[in-house]
């Protein structure tokens, strides 16, 4: 395959709500352009970009995938992105490297929730947009209403560049409003030029006038000319359409059907004519190696003459090919077997053979120019978010930030064999999906897998089984409760055992006192003189710490208390470190009968963003979860609610928030502090601990 110059490359992230036809649209465009000999269809599991088993089985896109075609000597790279809420975060890296977004809207349903979310991502990365309203061949499809919903939701600068000829099953062609021509799809699959239908001709003319008006509004000089003449010359319109789209002052809309191929050739022509090439960016900005975000930025232009740099935005852990890194070349020209610096990790990488990407297929290419998307296999260190560059001109591009995980599950291998394989398998899956997190809770000792939703985590379980032969079970994570004391008490811990020969003897007097929340554990040696020899006193502290790990009432660690060692006694022969550790443990148990221990629960700082109309329902739900609302503030159309809520009440919050807000809300939370569990709930925690075997019956043998 040949290499394409920067000005002959178009990189489009295809975004939108789940199940609007993004993957089918890409597959149909590839077929129309002759990039694939067979017309892939989602329902048959034969599309280029949904090639993973899970995606085919579920008929939804689970991660980004790349495909490309050539049209009019231009290479068009499509990045297919997921549209379901659990996987929507993967649209972020796609938009980070795209030079334009192709926003897909269902003609029956109009603009939906995740379309709004990905549109906001495009705003964040300042990406120009083109819109395709698809499925116009379906019953109840309405192009006009879909355009209105987009204008109402996003911007009045959304304007049709093609209008449909025919409705629903009769959708057979499009009117090109820019060039004032009409095309109909013939029986041979080719678009043939026809006269613009007289029916709705007034609407076509009005749309054209509106287009000219929007082009005029994008530039002050044009606006002045438009006011003087009442219109613009053709010579003013076409060049300035590109400028208006590149500056996000105009979003053209195209009428298409991925199922019948109507309108697709007009869309391909428009992508070549109107979508910005990579060089429309003034530059990409990065930082010097080992410098923070406050350092002076370094600029790199999309130009072959610049030093080489690339940003890795996707990693695929292929069971056969190994690790595949997909990257966008930002500056410079690259050839096979280049040695480059991974500036994010400070290591050298040999890139080997360069590949263009067509779904799961990799095709060798001899060289690549600035702005193109390529893949390299079997790199040693490189992962998603890393920068590769010329060693003589190092730069680090800031990586994409993924949303915090919204839900966590404890993950448990089904067998010892699975336990041995799970770590390697999960590491490979995490390489592919930076939106996942894997950790071990230090207190509960559980392995936790966290993701953006239950479906997100469930797909990991399926991948572990199908791809790596590892079977696991999921269950809600345990809440890391703690215990503390509420009163002061002076106690004695005495350990004496005589079994013939040398015995065991340790004796201590201690005072237990509560500390404020977060006080931890404090041990003070207040003995004056030799009541307990100096070398045995640390053993008393160790014994108390050991006993505190198992708590007093529910088997959770005891925290926020102080112990003062005030007296004790010893035996010249029988006393040793073990005996005084045992004395410390007995002192702890004696104290627990007097200090009125209580259970503490983790309280989380929660921040919820949702449309304003749902604020009342959200706050009502938070109150039912024992939450305390701390404040509210506006953020565009959304309301941001800040609250403190017990962790135990937040384990299933994602599904509830989705239900309240029709999946328009999002939240994140982080640990704040520990608070006492209310008395009526404390007994439930104790009963649960007993059922789990956390509370031991009887006193341990010392």
Same domain, 96 and 16: yes
> Which tokens is 85 given?
């809420």
- For residue 702, pLDDT beyond 60: no
Longest dimension (CA), the chain: 115
CATH classification of the domain holding 520: 3.30.230.10
Domain carrying residue 336: 284-389
Positive or negative, the CA dihedral 670, 671, 676, 680 is: positive
pLDDT digits (tens, 9 = 90+) for 26-38: 999 999 999 999 9
pLDDT, averaged across the chain:
91
User: Which is nearest to 399 in space by CA: 369, 434, 354, 356?
Assistant: 434
Same domain, 37 and 140: yes
CATH classification of the domain holding 372: 2.40.30.10
pLDDT digits (tens, 9 = 90+) for 74-132: 999 999 999 987 888 899 999 999 999 999 999 998 998 889 889 999 999 999 999 99
Asked if the structure places residue 361 within a domain, the reply is yes
Is residue 304 within 8 Å of 332, Cβ to Cβ? yes
Same domain, 585 and 637: no
Confidence (pLDDT) at 698: 40
Q: Which of 263, 280, 297 is the last residue of a domain?
A: 280
Asked if the structure places residue 695 within a domain, the reply is no
CATH classification of the domain holding 139: 3.40.50.300
User: Which is nearest to 429 in space by CA: 477, 468, 381?
Assistant: 468
Q: Which of 425, 453, 475 is the last residue of a domain?
A: 475
pLDDT digits (tens, 9 = 90+) for 119-155: 999 999 999 999 999 999 999 999 999 999 999 999 8
* Pairing assessment for the beta strands 489-497 and 666-676 based on DSSP bridges: unpaired
Same domain, 63 and 143: yes
Same domain, 80 and 183: yes
Positive or negative, the CA dihedral 252, 258, 263, 268 is: positive
Positive or negative, the CA dihedral 298, 301, 306, 307 is: positive
Q: What is the helix (H) or strand (E) element at residue 144, kind and residue range? A: helix 143-153
Same domain, 95 and 167: yes
Is residue 547 within 8 Å of 584, Cβ to Cβ? yes
Residue 292, CA distances (Å) to 100, 200, 287, 330, 396 in order: 29, 58, 7, 21, 10
Same domain, 500 and 538: yes
CA gap 544, 485 in Å, rounded: 14
Asked if the structure places residue 82 within a domain, the reply is yes
Can you say whether residue 600 is alpha, beta or left, with left for phi > 0 and alpha for psi between -120 and 50 degrees? Answer: beta
Asked if the structure places residue 498 within a domain, the reply is yes
pLDDT digits (tens, 9 = 90+) for 515-556: 999 899 999 999 988 899 999 999 999 999 999 998 999 989
The angle formed by the CA atoms of residues 603, 605 and 611, to the nearest 5 degrees, is: 130
- The sheet that has 9-15: what strands, in order across it? 65-71, 74-80, 9-15, 100-106, 129-134, 251-255, 158-160
Q: Residue 59 — very low, low, confident or very high, per pLDDT cuts 50/70/90?
A: confident
pLDDT digits (tens, 9 = 90+) for 583-631: 999 999 999 999 999 999 999 888 898 888 999 999 999 999 999 999 9
Confidence (pLDDT) at 321: 78
Q: Of 162-176, 184-198, 653-667, which one has max mean pLDDT?
A: 162-176
CA gap 609, 667 in Å, rounded: 6
Residues facing 514 on adjacent strands: 561
Q: Residue 560 — very low, low, confident or very high, per pLDDT cuts 50/70/90?
A: very high
User: Which is nearest to 64 in space by CA: 272, 359, 279, 324?
Assistant: 359
Q: Which of 596, 619, 651 is the last residue of a domain?
A: 596
pLDDT digits (tens, 9 = 90+) for 357-412: 999 999 999 999 999 999 999 899 999 999 999 999 999 999 998 877 767 888 98
CA gap 114, 49 in Å, rounded: 20
Can you say whether residue 500 is alpha, beta or left, with left for phi > 0 and alpha for psi between -120 and 50 degrees? Answer: left
CA gap 174, 195 in Å, rounded: 11
- The sheet that has 309-318: what strands, in order across it? 347-350, 339-342, 387-389, 309-318, 322-331, 373-377, 354-358, 361-365
Confidence (pLDDT) at 701: 44
- For residue 697, pLDDT beyond 70: no
CATH classification of the domain holding 668: 3.30.70.240
Q: Residue 419 — very low, low, confident or very high, per pLDDT cuts 50/70/90?
A: confident
Same domain, 268 and 289: no
User: Which is nearest to 131 in space by CA: 142, 120, 115, 145?
Assistant: 115
> Which tokens is 633 given?
């503030």
Q: Residue 696 — very low, low, confident or very high, per pLDDT cuts 50/70/90?
A: low
Asked if the structure places residue 334 within a domain, the reply is yes
Q: Residue 636 — very low, low, confident or very high, per pLDDT cuts 50/70/90?
A: low
* Mean of pLDDT values over 448-457: 83
Q: What is the helix (H) or strand (E) element at residue 75, kind and residue range? A: strand 74-80
* Pairing assessment for the beta strands 284-286 and 181-185 based on DSSP bridges: unpaired
pLDDT digits (tens, 9 = 90+) for 204-219: 999 999 999 999 988 8
**Is 561 or 231 the better-scoring residue by pLDDT?**
561
SS3 label, residue 264:
helix
Same domain, 275 and 300: no
Asked if the structure places residue 515 within a domain, the reply is yes
* Pairing assessment for the beta strands 521-525 and 65-71 based on DSSP bridges: unpaired
Confidence (pLDDT) at 699: 43
SS3 label, residue 153:
helix
Same domain, 125 and 260: yes
* Pairing assessment for the beta strands 129-134 and 251-255 based on DSSP bridges: parallel
* Mean of pLDDT values over 185-196: 87
- Sole residue written with tokens 């109009």: 110
SS3 label, residue 686:
helix
> Which tokens is 402 given?
């993924």
User: Which is nearest to 387 in space by CA: 42, 62, 96?
Assistant: 96
* Mean of pLDDT values over 172-179: 95
- For residue 175, pLDDT beyond 70: yes
Length of the chain: 702
Residue 519, CA distances (Å) to 484, 554, 561 in order: 10, 20, 7
CATH classification of the domain holding 436: 3.30.70.870
Can you say whether residue 243 is alpha, beta or left, with left for phi > 0 and alpha for psi between -120 and 50 degrees? Answer: alpha
CA gap 139, 384 in Å, rounded: 42
- For residue 167, pLDDT beyond 90: yes
Is residue 117 within 8 Å of 239, Cβ to Cβ? no
Asked if the structure places residue 242 within a domain, the reply is no
Confidence (pLDDT) at 478: 80
Asked if the structure places residue 211 within a domain, the reply is no
SS3 label, residue 245:
helix
User: Which is nearest to 266 in space by CA: 181, 148, 206?
Assistant: 181
* Pairing assessment for the beta strands 100-106 and 9-15 based on DSSP bridges: parallel
Q: Report the number of distinct structural domains present in the chain.
A: 5
Same domain, 166 and 134: yes
Same domain, 445 and 341: no
| Angle subtended by helix axes 264-274 and 22-32, to nearest 10 | 90
| Lowest-pLDDT choice from 237-241, 368-372, 566-570 | 237-241
């Amino acid at each position: 395959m040949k290499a394409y110059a920067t000005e002959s490359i178009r990189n489009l992230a295809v975004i939108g709500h789940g199940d609007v036809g993004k993957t089918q649209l890409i597959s149909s465009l590839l077929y129309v352009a002759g990039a694939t000999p067979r017309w892939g269809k989602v329902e048959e599991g034969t599309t280029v970009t949904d090639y993973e088993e899970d995606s085919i089985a579920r008929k939804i896109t689970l991660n980004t995938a790349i495909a490309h075609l050539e049209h009019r000597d231009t290479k068009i790279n499509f990045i297919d992105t997921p549209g379901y809420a659990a996987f929507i975060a993967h649209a972020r890296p796609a938009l980070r490297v795209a030079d334009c977004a192709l926003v897909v809207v269902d003609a029956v349903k109009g603009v939906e929730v995740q379309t709004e979310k990905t549109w906001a991502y495009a705003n964040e990365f300042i990406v120009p947009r083109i819109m395709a309203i698809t499925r116009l061949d379906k019953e109840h499809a309405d192009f006009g209403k879909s355009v209105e919903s987009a204008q109402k939701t996003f911007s009045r600068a959304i304007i049709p560049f093609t209008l449909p000829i025919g409705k629903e099953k009769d959708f057979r062609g499009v009117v090109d409003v820019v060039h004032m021509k009409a095309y109909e799809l013939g029986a041979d699959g080719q678009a043939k030029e026809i006269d613009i239908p007289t029916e709705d001709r007034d609407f076509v003319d009005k749309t054209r006038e509106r287009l000219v008006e929007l082009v005029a509004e994008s530039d002050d000089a044009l606006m002045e000319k438009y006011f003087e003449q009442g219109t613009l010359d053709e010579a003013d319109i076409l060049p300035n359409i590109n400028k208006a789209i590149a500056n996000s002052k105009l979003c053209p809309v195209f009428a298409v059907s991925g199922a019948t191929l109507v309108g697709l050739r007009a869309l391909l022509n428009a992508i070549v004519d109107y979508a910005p090439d990579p060089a429309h960016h003034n530059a990409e900005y990065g930082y010097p190696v080992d410098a923070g975000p406050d350092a002076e930025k370094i600029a790199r232009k999309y130009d072959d003459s610049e030093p080489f740099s690339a940003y890795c935005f996707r990693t695929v852990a292929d069971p056969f090919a190994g690790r595949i890194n997909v990257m966008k070349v930002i500056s410079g020209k690259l050839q096979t077997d280049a040695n480059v610096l991974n500036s994010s990790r400070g290591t050298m990488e040999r890139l080997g053979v360069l590949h263009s990407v067509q779904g799961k297929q990799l095709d060798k290419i001899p060289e690549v120019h600035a702005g193109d998307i390529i893949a390299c296999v079997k790199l040693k260190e490189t992962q998603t978010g890393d920068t590769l560059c010329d060693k003589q001109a190092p730069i680090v591009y800031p990586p994409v930030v993924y949303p915090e995980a919204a839900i966590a599950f404890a993950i448990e291998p089904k067998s010892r064999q699975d336990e041995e394989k799970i770590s390697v398998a999960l590491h490979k899956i995490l390489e592919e999906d930076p939106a996942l997190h894997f950790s071990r809770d230090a207190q509960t000792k559980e392995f936790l897998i966290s993701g953006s939703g239950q479906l997100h985590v469930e797909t990991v379980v399926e991948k572990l089984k199908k791809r790596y032969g590892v079977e696991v079970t999921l269950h809600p994570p345990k809440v890391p409760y703690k215990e503390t004391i509420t009163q002061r008490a002076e106690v004695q811990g005495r350990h004496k055992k005589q079994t013939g020969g040398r015995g065991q003897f340790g004796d201590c007097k201690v005072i237990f006192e509560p500390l404020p929340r977060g006080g931890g554990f404090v041990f003070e040696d207040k003995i004056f003189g030799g009541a307990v020899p100096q070398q045995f006193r640390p053993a008393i502290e160790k014994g108390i710490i050991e006993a505190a790990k198992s708590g007093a009432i529910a088997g959770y660690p005891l925290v926020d208390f102080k112990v003062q060692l005030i007296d004790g006694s010893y035996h010249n022969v029988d006393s040793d470190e073990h005996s005084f550790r045992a004395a410390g443990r007995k002192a702890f148990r004696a104290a627990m009968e007097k200090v009125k221990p209580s259970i503490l629960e983790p309280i989380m700082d929660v921040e919820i963003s949702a449309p304003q109309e749902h604020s009342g329902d959200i706050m009502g739900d938070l109150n039912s979860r024992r939450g305390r609302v701390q404040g509210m503030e506006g953020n565009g159309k959304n309301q941001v609610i800040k609250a403190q809520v017990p962790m135990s009440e937040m384990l299933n919050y994602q599904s509830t928030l989705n239900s309240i807000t029709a999946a328009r809300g999002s939240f994140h939370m982080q640990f704040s502090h520990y608070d006492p569990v209310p008395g009526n709930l404390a007994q439930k925690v104790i009963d649960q601990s007993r059922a789990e075997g956390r509370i031991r019956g009887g006193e341990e043998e010392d």
